[in-house]
Amino acid sequence: MSNGDVLARYEGALMQTFGVPPRVLVRGEGPWVWDADGVRYLDLLAGIAVNSLGHAHPRLVSAIAEQAGTLMHISNLFASEPQVALAEKLDALVAGESGRVARTFLTNSGTEANEAALKVTRLTGRPRLVAMEGCFHGRTMGALSVTATAAYREPFAPLPDNVTWVPFGDLDALAAAMGADVAAVVVEPIQGESGAVEPPAGWLAGVRALCDEHGALLWLDEVQTGIGRCGDWLASRAEGVVGDVVTLAKGLGGGFPIGACVATGDAAALLQTGHHGSTFGGNPLASRAALTVLEIIEDEGLVEHARATGDWLAGAIEALGLPEVSHVRGRGLLRGIVLNQPNAKAFGSAALEAGFLVNAPRPDVIRLAPPLIITRSDLQGFLDALPGLVSAS
């Protein structure tokens, strides 16, 4: 079947929440994918920062196949060893050297992890949340209530309210918004959907201090920035900040759906029996996949690789001196190419035709979030093509 054949069926069979996609992808290997017409593309998006090991990593494929042949699903009426082992690993990753107790609730996605985190904040007994302008935390109703984009929110109003919005990176504005009624401040260390926007240095540590001062929880949404994506296991770790609640997903499963809400300190004891649940969350297959991803990232040194490769890529793009490009922002392998004109959508189309998968989260920003395994040699073709892509758009 060709791209056109399958897309005609797609339009008739699926709800039109995504429009009609431009291609049908049928196969992947490493950082490459092929469409139904046999055309090869360099995947610089990794399923929106999900495929941390690229496509068809043999160790991950083997682990999933082995677990599928043993035990896939049992519900949370029973426990499994992969589930417990994964929670132990995530607890240690999030707590770090802080000495805090940590506990994990496993979910199927990032938005579900944020729903669990939202319930944790409710159990503080405080009614108000503080969220950042430009943020994205998911599409379910609770997560949507702390997502800033009006176009996502307005069709589904009224949403859960009592949210105060402050500019991302503005510590004075946050200080003015704080009070004894604030349950939590929710923040992405780097705003991915806004195009890899970083706050000023020291801002996140300042947020931590304000939360401590006012007795509020610090809720870190690391769904997109975590699991090595930004050159640290957690992007918040670059400033030595430990969250009271940390949400994870995307790269955690390397393509297999899984998310996690990890709470530390006193927050780890807030959710109790009957407060929350999930039929599929933490099933043995998803847990085994996530454990294997974490092991491979560690064994192959991919956190350090993401940091070094991302720095090289950003420097190489800026060194081209392209008049159409303002600058490159972000950290590790979560990068935004900021254009001088709002031509990102046209750039994305030109890139697709040239054999590159990218994303335009904002009119003037191209987001790059390739697999953590990508090499400089893989990326060189994109760098060589970039002058033509920006001029064509």
What's the pLDDT score for residue 351?
Answer: 98
CA–CA separation, 237 vs 84, rounded Å? 24
Counting Cα atoms < 13 Å in the Cβ hemisphere of 8 gives 5
Range of the domain at 95: 63-300
Phi, psi of 156, deg, nearest 5:
-115, 10
Nearest alpha carbon to residue 128 among 244, 208, 217, 190: 217
Tell whether 278 is in a known binding site. yes
Residue 384 labelled as part of a binding site: no
Encode pLDDT of 64-108 as tens digits: 999 999 999 999 999 999 999 999 999 999 999 999 999 999 999
- Judge if 277 and 225 occupy the same domain: yes
Instruction: Read off the CATH number of the domain in which 12 is found.
Output: 3.90.1150.10
Q: Residue 160 has what pLDDT?
A: 85
With a cut of 70, which residues of the chain have pLDDT below it? Answer: none
Annotated catalytic residue within 136, 168, 347, 382? 136
Does the active-site annotation cover 345? no
CA–CA dist 190, 195 (Å, integer): 9
Rg (CA), the chain: 21
pLDDT at 392: 81
Which pLDDT tens digit goes with each residue over 179-198? 999 999 999 999 999 999 99
Q: How far are the Cα atoms of 134, 173, 257, 261 from residue 144, in angstroms, in the given order?
A: 13, 22, 20, 17
Kindly report the backbone phi and psi dihedral angles of residue 111, in degrees, each rounded to the nearest multiple of 5, phi listed first. -65, -35
If asked whether residues 195 and 336 sit together in one domain, one would say no
> Any known ligand binding at 139?
yes
Query: Is 156 found in the same domain as 45?
Result: no
pLDDT tens column, 126-145: 999 999 999 999 999 999 99
Q: Is 250 a catalytic residue?
A: yes
Parallel, antiparallel, or unpaired for β 334-339 and 325-331? Answer: antiparallel
Residue 194's CATH number: 3.40.640.10
Same domain as 206, residue 79 = yes
Output the pLDDT for position 161: 86
221 is catalytic: yes
Q: Is 221 annotated as a binding residue?
A: yes
Please pick, among 221, 232, 244, 378, the residue that the annotation labels catalytic: 221
Is 224 flagged in the annotation as binding?
yes
Q: Which of 105, 250, 256, 382 is catalytic?
A: 250
Number of structural domains found in the chain: 2
Cβ 162 vs Cβ 129: under 8 Å = yes
